[in-house]
Copies of this chain bind each other. A is one copy, B any other.
């Protein structure tokens, strides 16, 4: 049999850059998080769905494992490559094919960078509301494959809610084209759902039709300090009642997190650093004057009613960016190594007790440990940054930390993954959030769609 690089080159035609061999692959880092050289048997760079189909057909005929790559910023080791696997990179499928301003849709290839789509939508007076820290490097295909969340889910939903249609290629090269552009389409099973959030294990997403929104023209932001968690939850509810769905971000920082990222040398704290909770929030609408008036009235009422201790409202875009940087730019938390990052979900009513429980477990295990907490609480989503505070075997510490974070989730119906997915990192914990019947159903889907287990093997289930 010809070597895989040659077979793929033959399938993709004369283009010298269409398939990279191991030496050229090694010039790339493994991922955003791992600077070590990438190792793979070949890296294919198709330009079209048809070419993706040919790559997969070649691999299928050879029982060759394939790992699909988007922006490589995922947090759960979902794109890790074994050295004998083929990487299928969608980096050359980066075209925005169409924006329909009346139907409010965009049709894009999977390799389009999220920020590029956001900016293109803006040029049409529209909004693509999926938004997350990695916006400058992650791809729309990766967002779809991981059902990405981010900071606007509270208003606009996860990536799944944005996907009207998609095109995917199955393990054997079969093209499933479901490029629906309508909000309503009940013509049989909605097969596109299979590919959203399945992390490249059931098919390769090559093109997507996404739903856009009218771009908001007003924006009001605040940083708020609070005395207890109940008030953070109450203000959220209050604003959602008072502002008619205009609340588009509500990000809660536990006090220790805020103090850590506002230590000298890091962000400037625009309020006292001794409060129990801090929230950065955005409200966006269509009528600047009226929206600001309603926003200020709602915040004023919240102050009067004793919900908030301090409020800062930025007077410029620079001030606004500085407030958001406290939430988004948390390098201060990585001063001490190692840091284990978590992404869990649970209902708001369980949050305060759950966080206290996790922190107590970690303190019992490691008295000098830190556990800084950040939450998209309206989505039921918390992130933890756990630092053991003591030397030890890294893998062992990670396992122990996992145990403390995940163990109390099961009985409250929480999830070990809110928005990051499962990848390889959380695979062995899936049983905490899913019953054996659910996992068996997932395995059945995997066996049915990818019987040879060639697509991103070893991930998710």
A residues neighboring B (CB under 8 Å) = 100-103, 105, 125, 146-147, 149, 153-154, 157-158, 160-161, 170, 174-191, 193-194, 196-198, 202, 213-214, 216, 233, 237, 240-246, 284-287, 290-291, 293-294, 345-349, 376, 378-381, 413-422, 426, 430, 433-435, 437-439, 441-442, 444-445, 448-449, 460-461
Neighbour of A174 across the interface among B246, B418, B437, B449, CB < 8 A: B437
Which of A184, A441, A449 is most buried by chain B, counting CB atoms within 10 A of its CB?
A184
- A6 to B236 CA separation, bound complex (whole angstroms): 54
Who on chain B is nearest to A155 by CB?
B245
Q: Is the CB of B147 within 8 A of A186?
A: yes
How far is the CB of A295 from the nearest CB of chain B, in Å?
Answer: 11
One of B174, B175, B413 near A179 (C-beta < 8 A):
B413
Q: How far is the CB of A71 from chain B (nearest CB, A)?
A: 17
Min CB–CB distance A206 → chain B (angstroms): 13
- Chain B nearest CB from A94 CB (Å) reads 23
**A149 B184 Cβ-Cβ under 8 A:** yes
Determine which residue in A158, A176, A193 has the highest number of CB atoms from chain B within 10 A of its CB, and name it. A193
CA distance A306 to B408 in the complex (A): 62
Q: A380 near B422 (CB under 8 angstroms)?
A: no
- B176 lies within 8 A of A441 (CB): yes
Give 18 CB contacts A-B under 8 Å: A100-B349, A102-B347, A103-B380, A146-B186, A161-B161, A176-B438, A176-B441, A177-B437, A182-B381, A184-B381, A185-B418, A187-B417, A189-B194, A190-B193, A194-B441, A243-B286, A245-B246, A245-B286
8 Å CB contact of A153 from B176, B183, B433 = B183
Which residues of chain B are within 8 angstroms of A293 by Cβ–Cβ distance? 290
B100, B174, B197, B243: the one contacting A347 at CB < 8 Å is B100
Nearest B residue to A215, CB-CB: B241
CB distance from A324 to the nearest CB of B (A): 20
Q: A34: shortest Cβ distance to chain B, in Å? A: 21
A395–B348 Cα distance when bound, in Å, is: 55
B241 touches A214 (CB 8 A): yes
CB distance from A133 to the nearest CB of B (A): 16
Query: Which residues of B have CB within 8 Å of A182?
Result: 345-347, 379-381, 414-415, 418
User: Given A286-B241, A379-B184, A189–B445 Cβ distance below 8 Å?
Assistant: yes
Q: How far is the CA of A379 from the CA of B245 in the complex (A)?
A: 20
List, in ascending order, chain B residues with CB within 8 A of A105's CB.
Answer: 347
Task: Check A244/B285 contact, CB under 8 A, given A422-B188, A448-B444.
Answer: yes
Q: A189-B442, A444-B449, A448-B448 are in contact. List 20 more A-B contacts (CB 8 A).
A: A100-B349, A149-B186, A176-B435, A184-B345, A184-B376, A185-B418, A186-B417, A187-B415, A188-B434, A188-B438, A188-B442, A188-B461, A189-B198, A189-B445, A193-B193, A214-B240, A244-B284, A245-B246, A290-B290, A290-B294
Contact B244 A186 (CB under 8 A): no
Which residues in B have their C-beta under 8 angstroms from that of A177? 435, 437-438
Q: How far is the CA of A174 from the CA of B444 in the complex (A)?
A: 13
Choose among B213, B438, B445 the residue that contacts A178 (Cβ–Cβ < 8 A). Answer: B438
A188–B102 contact, CB under 8 A? no
